[in-house]
Structure 1
């Protein structure tokens, strides 16, 4: 699916901001609907008949409808609490969109939803979420958290505290001032992406209005996905024309809050955009695979110098290196990267480098093989580009191809990583390059060009540096 020029430009900007740690997600009811949950209208529909009202006619103000239902029960909200528990089961599975977001380095989530899909997706991604659904939790920091999930309207496990009715909304500013202040702070300093949100929530409207009055034209730009009205969903041309006119006015009105509408024709476009953001981010992370016991024909000193320079140049071009610290390769690569990273002022090493040495002290061969396979899968879930060098090892006094390099290559391709064997360095890398060039189906133009360029014989290993960097840049820009 081809994304529009506007959405593609947004994906590039959001990926850059995400790398800087300055983004947040705001998930509305539409995002949970993608996981099979009911929406507000479906949730409240069973109470319409006893009120003598139509849920369709009240769909523009469901908060008011919920209040009517509460009034009808003389202030007893047990029926609303039961509806929440039934509608949002705790064991439901997150959607693909949840899974993509959870894999990304996003540390701040806001939601008006009561379900547990965001925190479940983060846990599935082996991350630790710090969930806040009442103000008393705000000052407490969960140890080793990877992301904060602000559930500003409550949690399904505590339905009695959920924000549902007009009474709840009117009291929100006084009862939940901590959430209001936290949201104001995040909207001031982070780029928000709203997904599945209709901008009909009074609490968010109040916060956005505060920001608009405070910063005027200096507000931070935020984004939201908005579906353009589709003719086949309307009963008449008149209704369709009205919907289009209303849509245009809504898009213009969002600009008052510096929220840019990303217009989509169907909800599958959101998934495609999130995948694009993930791909753009991952393409800034480069996995370097390889092992060498035999350094011929260049010699160990020249190979060490090459990898030290490669690590330095990758950092100099703002790539992040991911390494399993391969034998004969990893130490020099990491040394060059650290030296260059420390030469930059006011930077943290983990912004440039992720080193995951393999756990070698596992006596049982089968257990070691199983752990290493899982370890490789997790390691290669991080980068978008993988380079494969050399790939030989000594076994019984003989130099043989390193099967670990092949395993990493196969895992990389299976996980959608742009896997590029540098055939010019020989050994397993040469085998993998020959196989890829013999069956180029499925290779992108940039990948085919990279593998071809890096498969040319060279006399001086230094002459391989620039073609390698050029290949990485081309793949990152693809």
Structure 2
């Protein structure tokens, strides 16, 4: 990544941590999922008018031409919208990353439901707004608000499609403009999926420009840098480069700083880097213990309690599956630390995911547990493993669930910290980590190595193990 992209990651990570980051998604953000762009959508309309869609630059007016010829009957346009955007298409990786992040505000000019689906897949409650009446209501326990300022695919007749719709927007949809203006003042937006040809962009920019004048918040837009097309002449390419530079200045005039990428895949890399920074503040604690050897039960529970409390005091969020003999101590530690600070316990401090113990649906219980583990670990950047045994048919065995959680964590690039001195499967996992650890992969790799070694050293006490972990966390 270049310096400009790294600065963008720094700035957006800071805004995300402070709860100020919002997303504005354009047509290009859905295209990677398989949906059509505006030109493809309106090609049948252009064919009806005996026009070449490739030669038309004002696609909103093209749609208006069709409505004019058909005496304002836009039934074909509505049907195209329903046909093209109702497909059962899965959200992209970019949608999934954003849905995992604690982003509470989404704006989009898209008609599809990819953002809502991605949030739902992440077990988040989305409050969808595509009519002015919906702005006056609030969905209970919502995690995010999705403003669909140009309508929804299931209500195509009310969607903003033709020039008439845009011209009446400031009257008919004024509350949306007011809401957007307020968010643009209070939040930092990342614009994704916009291009020079996006027919909606000029309307958004005009609203931003009129509202903010010279006193505007810094927003960001990621665009693909112009590259020479096959068979394109040098003069034509240089012309597009000049236009690109002028367009960059126009966006900056309305408070939107452009960050360029050479490939669209780099956008995913940027979003992954932001997620990685965010996830490093979330720690998954995996543990189960029927037997606490080589320690006593009281020593072990006190250790888990003290460790969880200390982690919470360092402003880390804890995720736990409420493991046997471990879960209660994790809860108590985080809860006590939160109350001592005068706060209230919520998902910013602790996420608990007790495993279902009986099969209620068609999916086998072991498959459901695997999905559970993937879902929990998707939020974490660090995973700590403690003890790891259970009774099976009256016999003490190693915890296969913890082994699965470890494998999932490693596969997803999560930094794993097995506390080997707690024995059971954690001791085995610690040996694997030590054997496979490559300090060159980490900025502070040389400092991390001796600390990991201590966590499996028989001379290390539980109190020292806690000190080691608290020293490790900021180095990762």
TM-score (norm 1): 0.88
Residue matched to 2:105: 108
Higher alpha-carbon deviation: 303-312 or 180-189: 303-312
Aligned 8 A contact 2:427 2:456 in 1: yes
Which position in structure 2 is the counterpart of 1:247? 244
> Any idea what the Cα deviations from partners look like across 1:120-141, whole Å, max 9, x if unmatched?
2223333333222221222122
For the structure 1 residues 78 and 253, does the alpha-carbon distance in structure 2 shift closer, same or farther, using more than 3 Å as the test? same
Q: What SS does structure 1 have at the residue aligned with 2:136?
A: coil
The CA deviation at 1:26 is 1.0
Tell me the equivalent position of 1:461.
462
* Structure 1 residues 219-248: Cα deviation after superposition (integer angstroms, max 9, x where no partner): 322111111101135711111111111111
What aligned pairs does 1:47-446 form with structure 2 within 5 A after superposition?
47-48=45-46, 51=49, 53-59=51-57, 61-198=58-195, 201-213=201-213, 216-217=214-215, 219-232=216-229, 235-345=232-342, 348-360=345-357, 369-393=366-390, 399-440=396-437, 444-445=441-442
Contact 1:424–1:457, Cα closer than 8 Å, also in 2:
yes
Gaps of 5+ in 1: none
Distance in 1 of aligned mates of 2:429 and 2:120: 35
C-alpha separation in 2, matches of 1:279 and 1:34: 22
Query: Quick check: 260-269 or 37-46, which moved more?
Result: 37-46
Question: Is contact 1:290–1:389 with CA below 8 Å preserved after alignment?
Answer: yes
Shift of 1:31: 1.0
SS of 1:462's partner is helix
User: 1:55 offset after TM fit, Å?
Assistant: 2.9
**How big is the shift at 1:339?**
2.0
| SS of equivalent to 1:350 | coil
Distance 1:160 1:398 in 2: 65
Q: How far 1:98 moved relative to its partner?
A: 1.9
For 2:84 and 2:300, the matched residues in 1 are separated by 61
Distance in 1 (CA, whole Å) between partners of 2:423 and 2:371 is 27
Note the C-alpha offset of 1:346. Answer: 5.1
Tell me whether 1:18 sits opposite 2:7 in the alignment. Answer: no
Partners of 2:20 and 2:188 within 8 A in 1: yes
Is contact 1:128-1:147 (8 Å) kept? Answer: yes
Which secondary structure does the structure 1 equivalent of 2:55 belong to? coil
Deviations 1:52-107 (A, max 9, x none): 64433322x22222223322333222232233233323423322222222233322
Q: Check whether the contact 1:298–1:461 (CA below 8 A) recurs between aligned residues.
A: no
Normalised to the residue count of structure 2, the TM-score between the two structures is 0.88
User: For residues 87 and 369 of structure 1, what CA distance do their matches in structure 2 show?
Assistant: 38
List runs of 5+ in structure 2 lacking aligned partners: none
Instruction: State which drifts further: 257-266 or 399-408.
Output: 399-408
Partner of 1:470: 471
Deviations 1:197-229, CA, capped at 9 Å, x for gaps = 23753431232023323xx33x32211111110
C-alpha deviation, 1:173, in angstroms: 0.5
CA distance in 2, matches of 1:397, 1:56: 73
Q: Is the 8 A contact 1:380 1:411 kept in 2?
A: yes
Aligned residues: 468
The answer on whether the counterparts of 2:289 and 2:388 sit within 8 Å (CA) in structure 1 is: yes
Change (3 A) 1:157 1:432: same
Moved more, 115-124 or 45-54: 45-54
Instruction: Tell me the distance in 1 between the aligned counterparts of 2:87 and 2:65.
Output: 28
Query: Residue 8 of structure 1 corresponds to which residue in structure 2?
Result: 6
Cα 1:234–1:452 change in 2 (3 A) is farther
Q: Deviations over 1:304-323 (max 9, x none)?
A: 33323322221222110111
Structure 1 residue 399: Cα displacement: 5.0
SS in 2 for 1:158: helix
Describe the SS at the equivalent of 2:324.
coil
Cα RMSD (Å): 2.9
- Equivalent residue in structure 2 for 1:35, among 33, 36, 54: 33
Change (3 A) 1:376 1:201: closer
The SS at the match of 1:335 is helix
